[in-house]
Amino acid sequence: MDTTKDDDRQKNDAVANNKPPESDNPLVKSVIQDMEDLDKDYMELELDNEHYKKKLEEVKVLQKKCLSGIAHQRYRMKKISEALKAIPNPSSVDRACMDEAHNKMTKRKNTFRDFEDHLPHKNGIYLNIILGQVNISLLNKEDKYLYKQDYERFKLTLSYIQFGLSLILVFANYLIDFTSIRWADSVLHFLLVWYYCTLTIREQILIVNGSRIKGWWLLHHFVSTACSAITLIWPDGYSYQAFRTQYGWFILYIAFVQVLQYYYQKGCLYRLKCLGQRHDMDITVEGFMSWMFKGLAFLLPFLFFAYFFQLYNSIQLYKLYTDPRCTEWQVPVLSVIHLVLFLGNMTTTLKVLKQKFTEDMKNKKKFYKNKYRFNSKPKVM
Ligand code: COA
């Protein structure tokens, strides 16, 4: 009874003096001591957090300043270019001065790309619709490299799954009657719809972060999503059964080519990283180019075969469409889609090759060396 009174008195005194009550229990004392130590750490953490928030604000202000600075420079350079073009009958001295200004502007434009690698970018309409206003900018080259690597690995994993599934479906067709289990095909077609859809999102994120994927490959993945979706809803019947095995072989072959593409892209990515990091076991830009051309020479026959397979699909589907037993709208639409894919793939690949053979090596050298330069410590001699 007395102890309780004492405790109460102690507690009241402590409250009156604005101090916490003190306990005589050694266990409680030790815990309180721990808590006091933790409080000190917490106060430090609070200060760090304030400091961090302040820095973030400063970074945001700097980002805005740099972005508007770049926009301003671009605008002024455009006006200067127009003014240069409008100068009538320049003398040889004038021309030399004008050329110098022109070269300066070209160099500066390239430098802006480097600046922009570390600045946030706008998402674009497609990503805004899908993701909303979330910021998906990767602000350093290491993160960009890792994201690209992850994208390639995602494609590889899904290619193996597509390969496995289509292999089962194609060979099972020779063993059992698949007309009763059309749903098994649907699993593969649904997987393809999801895969191509996901690719379009990942590729938009890559583009926002400076990737130079050609517009056709993006469109190709949108068209492939539509192609798989239409195949998914193609009802079972004469025309589906007539085309099913050929399409199974096609998916199998495309999955195989995608695996080859992965090894080509992975090789390029790895060498670009080495070029950027300037390791002792450095490879040169010429070494990179030579590897790239060898890789392309190996890959291209497989790619062209895939494109002609697409053309063959288009022709077969057209033949089916002219058959009186074919009643489904999916057949002519798929025939057109395969033809579009063939034309787009063929022309883009030929354009890429032409571009690679006629590239200005001087500009390219700088570009390749800087692409994944994220560990720019000087080389120890
Ligand atoms: N899908 C996605 N990204 C692609 C791509 C494709 N099909 N082809 C090229 N890219 C990317 C590259 O990785 C590179 O990205 P980066 O700027 O982030 O480094 C960028 O686009 C520029 O590449 P580029 O130099 O133009 O070509 P490349 O040497 O990397 O590849 C080919 C050239 C022809 C091998 C490649 O485009 C290809 O494999 N195309 C065939 C795709 C196809 O038809 N698939 C379906 C049938 S199998």
Q: What is the pLDDT of residues 39-66, one digit of tens each?
A: 999 999 999 999 999 999 999 999 999 9
DSSP type of residue 377:
P
- The ligand 1 atom at the shortest distance from the C-alpha of residue 299 is 35
Ligand 1 pocket test, candidate residues 203, 206, 213, most atoms within 8 A of CB: 213
Which of 154, 217, 343, 358 is the best mutation target for the ligand 1 pocket, counting ligand atoms within 8 Å of the beta carbon and taking the most? 217
**pLDDT value, residue 23:** 80
% of the chain at pLDDT higher than 70: 90
Read off the amino acid at residue 77.
M
In terms of DSSP H, where are the helices of 176-237? Answer: 182-208, 215-232
Q: Above 50 in pLDDT, residue 1?
A: no
Residue bearing the CA closest to ligand 1, atom 16: 211
The predicted pLDDT at position 381 comes to: 32
Nearest ligand 1 atom to alpha carbon 199: 2
pLDDT the model gives residue 380: 37
Most confident of 114-128, 261-275, 330-344: 330-344
Compute the distance between CA of residue 43 and CA of residue 53 in angstroms, rounded to an integer.
15
Cβ within 8 Å of residue 295, ≥6 positions away: 264, 267, 268
The CA-atom distances, in angstroms, between 11 and each of 2, 14, 26, 27, 77 are 14, 5, 18, 19, 75
Grade residue 378 by pLDDT with cuts at 50, 70 and 90.
Answer: very low
Q: In a 10 Å sphere around its CB, with 0-12 CB exposed, 13-18 middle and 19+ buried, how is residue 247 labelled?
A: buried
**Residue-wise DSSP of 228-281:** HHHHHT--SSHHHHHHHHHHHHHHHHHHHHHHHHHHHHHHHHHHHHHHHHT-TT
For residue 161, count other CB atoms closer than 10 A to its CB: 14
> Which of 152, 207, 212, when mutated, tests ligand 1's pocket best, judged by the most ligand atoms within 8 Å of its CB?
212
pLDDT exceeds cutoff 90 at 75: yes
Q: Residues lining ligand 1, judged by CB closer than 6 Å?
A: 148, 206, 211-214, 217, 254, 257, 261, 264-265, 268, 299, 303, 306, 345, 349, 352
Rounded to whole angstroms, how far apart are CA atoms 28 and 24? 8
pTM of the model: 0.83
What's the alpha-carbon Rg for the chain, to the nearest Å?
32
Q: If you measure from the C-alpha of residue 213 to the centroid of ligand 1, how many angstroms do you get, rounded to a whole number?
A: 6
